[in-house]
Amino acid sequence: MAGNWKMYKTAKDTRAYFEKFLPLVKGCSGREIVICPPYPNLEAAVEDTAGTGVHIGAQNLYWGKEGAVTGEVSGPMIHSIGCTHVIIAHSERREYFNESEQDVTRKTKAALEAGLTPIVCVGERLAERESGQTASVLHEQFQDGIGPLAPDEFAKIVIAYEPVWAIGTGKTATPQIAEDAHKTIRNEARQRFGEQLAAAVRILYGGSVKPDNVKSLMAIEEIDGVLVGGASLDPVSFAAIVNY
């Protein structure tokens, strides 16, 4: 159950959030919780969640370890402060920062090398869905972005299916649409990496997940978890999602 705060909350807000959130998920077992705040709040988030089992992740990284790359942050830097995860190629990164499939591969490899679990996002835009291209878009994203990973690298990633038309719009994919897309992705994984790794990879659904629709999404066998934007900003609603 992963929360993506995007560009919201200060360090002070972060502390107030965990004060409320942690007691609400205490004792919750059998599920992994990850929260991805903006870079400046990562350290506060790691401190606040120490010993609670809640993991902290970044929302992006640069593929190099260090260098003259103004404004960027590397995997080893993120790992060194106690983060365990990093989101890769969120559709907002693809859209506003022109991130390509080549970026997906190199960022995923860099994250793994730094000891972070990458949450790699894929998903079609509205026009692509409406013109019947969903499967081919997912095929291309998988083949060109995730496909170049070695099998032992693929074994360590988490995939998030996030249809762009469902992000921040209140239009959740129906359980059927999500199931079909997850099956398409798992099939891509099967063809490239074989049955065993394909069956084991966790695929999260993301796009307008809320406390009132999480249960029907999680009821689908193909859906292993959720990546939540808007509803993860409120500790009560994210705790309700985690405890669905």
CA proximity to 144, closest of 113, 103, 182: 103
As measured in angstroms, the least distance from the Cβ of 118 to ligand PGA is 14
Decide if residue 35 touches ligand PGA (CB under 6 A).
no
**97: Cβ contacts below 8 Å, ≥ 6 apart:** none
162 is catalytic: yes
Residues 6 or more apart whose CB falls under 8 angstroms from that of 19 comprise 48
Does the footprint of ligand PGA cover residue 227 (CB under 6 A)? yes
173 vs 179: CA distance, rounded Å? 9
* 209 lines the binding site for ligand PGA (CB under 6 A): yes
Q: Which stretch binds ligand PGA (CB under 6 A): 55-63, 66-74, 102-110, 228-236?
A: 228-236
Nearer to ligand PGA, 198 or 242 (CB): 242
Nearer to ligand PGA by Cβ, of 230 and 235: the residue is 230
Using CB under 6 A as the binding rule, whether residue 41 contacts ligand PGA is answered as no
206 interacts with ligand PGA by CB under 6 A: yes
168 is an interface residue for ligand PGA by CB under 6 A: yes
Applying CB under 6 A, the site for ligand PGA has a residue count of 13
- Does position 228 interact with ligand PGA (CB under 6 A)? The reply is yes
- Residue number of the CB closest to ligand PGA reads 229
Q: Among the candidate windows 10-18, 63-71, 73-81, 225-233, which touches ligand PGA by CB under 6 A? A: 225-233
Which residue in the list 85, 90, 153, 182 is annotated as catalytic? Answer: 90
Residue 88 or 198: which CB sits closer to ligand PGA? 88
Nearest CA-CA partner of 155 in 187, 198, 108? 198
57 counts as binding ligand PGA under rule CB under 6 A: no
SS3 track for the chain:
CEEECCCCCCHHHHHHHHHHHHHHHCCCCCCCEEEECCHHHHHHHHHHHCCCCEEEEECCCECCCCCCCCCCCEHHHHHHCCCCEEEECCHHHHHHCCCCHHHHHHHHHHHHHCCCEEEEEECCCHHHHHCCCHHHHHHHHHHHHHCCCCHHHHCCCEEEECCHHHCCCCCCCCHHHHHHHHHHHHHHHHHHHCHHHHHHCEEEEECCCCCCCHHHHHCCCCCCEEEECHHHCCHHHHHHHHCC
Known catalytic membership, residue 85: no
Query: Residue 40 Cβ, how far from ligand PGA at the closest point, in Å?
Result: 20
Decide: is 208 part of the binding site for ligand PGA (CB under 6 A): yes
Among 37, 207, 211, 225, binds ligand PGA (CB under 6 A): 207
Provide the binding-site residues for ligand PGA, judged by CB under 6 A: 4, 162, 167-168, 206-209, 227-231
- Active site members: 90, 162
